[in-house]
Amino acid sequence: MGNLPVPPPPPQQYPNGARRPSPSAPSSPRRKMLDDLVTHFTVKLDDVKQHRWWTLVTPAFSHVQTYHILGNLFAFSTFSRMLLAYGIGPVRYAVLILGSAVSGNAAFLYQAAQRQQTQQWQRQRRQPQETRALGLSGVVMGLGAAVSLATPRFKVLLFGVVPVPVWLLMALYTVYDSARLDDQASTTGHAAHLGGAAFGVLYYVAALRAQAGLPFAWVFRR
């Protein structure tokens, strides 16, 4: 999941400096579409104030950079195939996806709120910076965490070359995200990653641990 730090514009201005059209002025369809996408498909603190609770889920299906969506889809596909072979049913699979999205985005909002509270001096000097996030990475981490517990010895190719046990891969990602959690220069949603992974662990323990595998699931448990 990626962070999109966007300095809030002065009143009646867009982020690019252009004046906001008056209510009576016609708006560009493209501008309206972009505004709607930012409003409904990114997660930010303003969503809590405006009661846009659906943004705890919708940002998982929104990306900007091509490499971001391709990387997420590759990891999502890999972990999904492993879980399906393990024997997860469609309902539990859907709950794991949605729960990881909600947990990841909630963790991002919690960290964003904490940062605002600890930066009082910034709010006194200028308007606080609004940070937005989007992407499937929190869901990927949730799936990966569940996979690492269900089929820990199964190996994946790191960077497409180096075979690594899935549990070790997830451990490395967790350590990396934890180490950079408070790095405000990072454009990666580390809190969202950890939130998604935490849900994956809890959901495995609560709902998947006793799951009976489908035929040939033993291949992934070796």
140 pLDDT above the threshold of 60? yes
Q: List the beta bridge partners of residue 4.
A: 132
Residue indicated by tokens 């900007």 = 64
**Token pair of 35 as six digits:** 């505004």
- State residue 216's pLDDT score: 38
**Token pair of 90 as six digits:** 């469609």
Spell out the long-range contacts of 148-154 with Cβ–Cβ below 8 A and sequence spacing 24 or more. Answer: 149/201, 149/204, 149/205, 149/208, 149/209, 150/82, 150/83, 150/86, 150/204, 150/208, 150/211, 150/220, 150/221, 151/82, 151/86, 151/220, 151/221, 153/221, 153/222, 154/82, 154/220, 154/221, 154/222
Whole-angstrom distance, CA of residue 37 vs CA of residue 213: 40
pLDDT in tens, 1-21: 665 544 433 333 333 333 444
- The mean pLDDT of 119-136, rounded to a whole number, is 69
This prediction has a pTM of 0.78
Percent of all residues in the chain with a pLDDT value above 90, rounded to a whole number: 48
Residue indicated by tokens 């514009």 = 9
- Top-confidence residue, 124 or 19: 124
- State residue 130's pLDDT score: 72
Domains belonging to the chain, first-starting first, are 10-221 (1.20.1540.10)
pLDDT in tens, 73-116: 999 999 999 999 888 999 999 999 999 999 999 999 999 888 87
pLDDT in tens, 204-221: 999 888 764 433 344 444
